[in-house]
Amino acid sequence: MIIKTNSFVLLVGLVCLCCCAEGTKIKVKAHHVKYKNPKEKINVRVEDLLARMTLKEKLGQMAQVDRGNITAKVMKEYNIGSVLSGGESVPRTQATPRDWIDMINKFQNWSLASRLGIPMIYGIDAVHGHNNVYKATMFPHNVGLGATRDPELVKRIGAATALEVRATGIQYSFAPCVSVCRDPRWGRCYESFSEDPNIVKQMTDFVIGLQGEIPAGSPKGVPYVGGTDKVAGSAKHYVGDGGTTKGINENDTVIDWQGLLNIHMPGYPEAIAKGVATVMVSYSSWNGVKMHANHDLVTKYLKDTLKFKGIVISDWLGVDKISNPPFTNYSNSVLLSIQAGLDMIMLPYNYIDFVKFLTEHVNNKRIPMSRIDDAVRRILSVKFMMGLFENPMSSYEYIPRLGCQEHRDLGREAVRKSLVLLKNGKTPTAPLLPLPKKANRILVAGTHANNLGYQCGGWSLTWQGVSGNNHTVGTTILGAIASAVNETTEIVFSLNPDTNFVKANKFDYAVVAVGELPYAETKGDSVNLTIAEPGPSIITNVCGAVKCAVIVVSGRPVVIEPYLSSMDALVAAWLPGTEGQGVADVLYGDYGFTGKLPRTWFRRVDQLPMNFGEKNYDPLLPFGFGLTTQPVNKR
């Protein structure tokens, strides 16, 4: 039957839409449903979809659940909006990109099978490259990138990271960290570009690489992710996490408002101006108030003053830690976090209680529906902006970009630009570096000379990092030296040689690589900041018997003054990642040293905290220090 009455046609259309809103099986053509129509403006699509959603569907969008807890039933029943991989949550050991993509597409199909077909977004910590994934390129950690003073390099690293993340089908990375570490005792200090907020501001160009260049004239605070070769990023950890008392992770940052603005805040408006999609809230407190419950800083300042229109996301179990002691009175913690202005909660497990308690708070008018709608509106806006409704499934097209030679070359470039030369020769007229490639016999020694896991540090394959060379693919410092020297040069490797061994072999020179063992947050907090044993004895044994260049592999300055006089040369290599060839490039003069200290190098731990520009500033080596050399070899 053909019905020609316009008013009746309109009525039928309205009935169909209402029936869909109630969850019936009646189907409406996509172009009649505004949120499914890509020609509609994003805000129109968002409001149309929001109006169709039940409370439970809205709360599901606010939940981010670890992949280990996701099933088809959970996705359908709870309408989960986001899934993530924690630091060690992978499809299988040494999973391939195809393994990742197949897993994520399985989750996505479950998500799309829900009543409204809202796609989920998958997140992961790709903080120095796609560091959770076997064979990915791992770049220097942020402290090393801060030593380069090169925002354009950091932008290219962001773009490469985005491609490698997309190679595994993932659309969202919890990076960059724009913390300003003011105390190297903090176990996350290597995630900070510098103690100088101005350098941190410059390095937010990583956002542009990761997400794409925000179009000119874009509205203030509106996120932008430009295409399927880009991923959503997250500026973290808002705010002040690098200034906690004694550098203790998740501790209290005691500082006045102006100090917070001047030191710890500058990276956030910069990242927002560059279109960052999300901001992650810090575990730490500001003057006694937990950031996950701080309405003044999350809603009034981040959202209202800075005009951030993206998603405010919690940290892993961050809501659970609001209470004192942590992990108690979860209902109240959920209440405080949502009232503060958080939009997406990295649960990452307890979705049942989260939805239960949040439903009770809404029904009892403790949380207004407007607050829920604000959160869901932001989440949906990012998903629409990223094109997830039109292209929800992950593609295999970027698989060849994971660990590709172009990215490894970029990592190598970043390593050589990040190295800081702290000493070169026992007298100014007798430099040791660059080293000669042609020699009779040389010694390579130390715990960090042939250990790719140590080279990469924490947040590498596992949360706290690994030891050894079998976990991923890359070049160790020993391997780099072997590739750099003349084929006639004999290389002797000894993990921990004694003085007699060194003297007996009559080495032309030695390269000693020592440093910190891998660590991440909390476990990496340190009161001693020492080189790991037997590092100090290796320095003493080798440098007392032969000319030596010492390479310190660490996430922060460490105690070196007692050993400095015995060294002929000292290089801060930070945590260079998988591309150790960049170390040899500079040691042997193919490139010159150009890096500058992103942090003050203290004399003694009892001086800390100590940052440039403060009173009684008496460092071993000041912020910005770095000797330079000129290339001596033709490339």
Specify burial of residue 229 (Cβ count, 10 A radius: 0-12, 13-18, 19+): middle
pLDDT number for residue 618: 98
3-state secondary structure of 233: coil
Closest CA to 126 of 75, 183, 164: 164
Over residues 565-620, the pLDDT tens digits come to 999 999 999 999 999 999 999 999 999 999 999 999 999 999 999 999 999 999 99
Closest CA to 558 of 489, 611, 621, 499: 621
pLDDT number for residue 516: 98
Q: How far is 311 from 235, CA to CA, in rounded Å? A: 11
Over residues 254-282, the pLDDT tens digits come to 999 999 999 999 999 999 999 999 999 99
User: Domain residues of the chain, as ranges?
Assistant: 57-400, 419-607
Find all residues with CB under 8 Å of 230, minimum gap 6, and list them: 162, 166, 210, 211, 212
Taking the CA atoms of 339, 345, 349 and 355 in sequence, report the sign of the dihedral they define: positive
Q: How far is 105 from 394, CA to CA, in rounded Å? A: 6
Over residues 350-361, the pLDDT tens digits come to 999 999 999 999
3-state secondary structure of 287: coil
Question: What is the percent of the chain where pLDDT is above 70?
Answer: 95
CATH 3.40.50.360 corresponds to the domain 57-400: no
Q: How far is 336 from 331, CA to CA, in rounded Å? A: 9
pLDDT number for residue 30: 56
Supply 416's token pair. Answer: 């050589």
Over residues 133-158, the pLDDT tens digits come to 999 999 999 999 999 999 999 999 99
Supply 261's token pair. Answer: 């603005």
Active-site amino acid positions: 315, 521
Over residues 309-336, the pLDDT tens digits come to 999 999 999 999 999 999 999 999 999 9
Assigned CATH for 419-607: 3.40.50.1700
Q: Residue holding tokens 């491609």?
A: 163
Say whether pLDDT at 14 is over 60: no
Q: Where are the alpha helices (DSSP H) in 386-525?
A: 405-418, 452-456, 477-484, 499-505
Say whether pLDDT at 15 is over 50: no
* DSSP per-residue string spanning 509-550: EEEEEEEPPP--TTTT--SS--PPTTHHHHHHHHHTTS-EEE
